[in-house]
């Protein structure tokens, strides 16, 4: 699984929709994390990743395929031209 590509795709998806401000710290805030906070975040990320990998293995789920399918679904639900800069749920702007 190419996590670097997936991360780049997720970043592009958020940028296309101007969504970075809705869920994440700003670049400045992220850059200013102290070492203890950064390590705590790294530990939480590792815990979640370990759990997800074990769960996918036990259930026979291809994570890369699941992510690809979900991103395609999200692109259809949240077209950039309709949702740019909006945190509204897709049901609020569907035709």
| Whether this model's pTM surpasses 0.75 | no
User: What pLDDT shows up at residue 84?
Assistant: 86
pLDDT value at 23 more than 70: no
Is residue 90 assigned to a domain? Answer: no
Q: Rounded to whole angstroms, how far apart are CA atoms 89 and 17?
A: 13
Does a structural domain hold residue 59? yes
Cβ atoms < 10 Å from Cβ of 78:
19
Interior angle at CA 57, CA 40 and CA 70, nearest 5: 75
Residue 89, Cβ density class (10 Å: 0-12 exposed, 13-18 middle, ≥19 buried): exposed
Does some domain include residue 92?
Answer: no
Inside any domain, residue 41: yes
Q: Residue 43: what pLDDT? A: 96
Segment 26-42 shows an average pLDDT of 88
Q: Is residue 9 part of a domain?
A: yes
> Which of 4 and 86 is assigned the larger pLDDT?
4
Q: Domain residues for 55? A: 3-85
Establish if 95 belongs to a structural domain. Answer: no
pLDDT over threshold 90, residue 65? yes
Domain count across the chain: 1
């Amino acid at each position: 699984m190419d996590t670097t590509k997936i991360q780049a795709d997720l970043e592009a998806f958020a940028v296309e929709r101007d969504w970075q401000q809705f869920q994440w710290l700003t670049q400045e805030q992220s850059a200013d994390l102290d070492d203890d906070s950064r390590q705590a975040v790294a530990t939480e990320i590792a815990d979640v990743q370990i759990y997800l990998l074990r769960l996918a293995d036990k259930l026979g789920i291809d994570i890369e395929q699941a992510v690809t399918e979900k991103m395609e679904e999200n692109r259809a639900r949240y077209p950039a031209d309709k949702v740019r800069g909006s945190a509204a749920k897709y049901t609020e702007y569907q035709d």
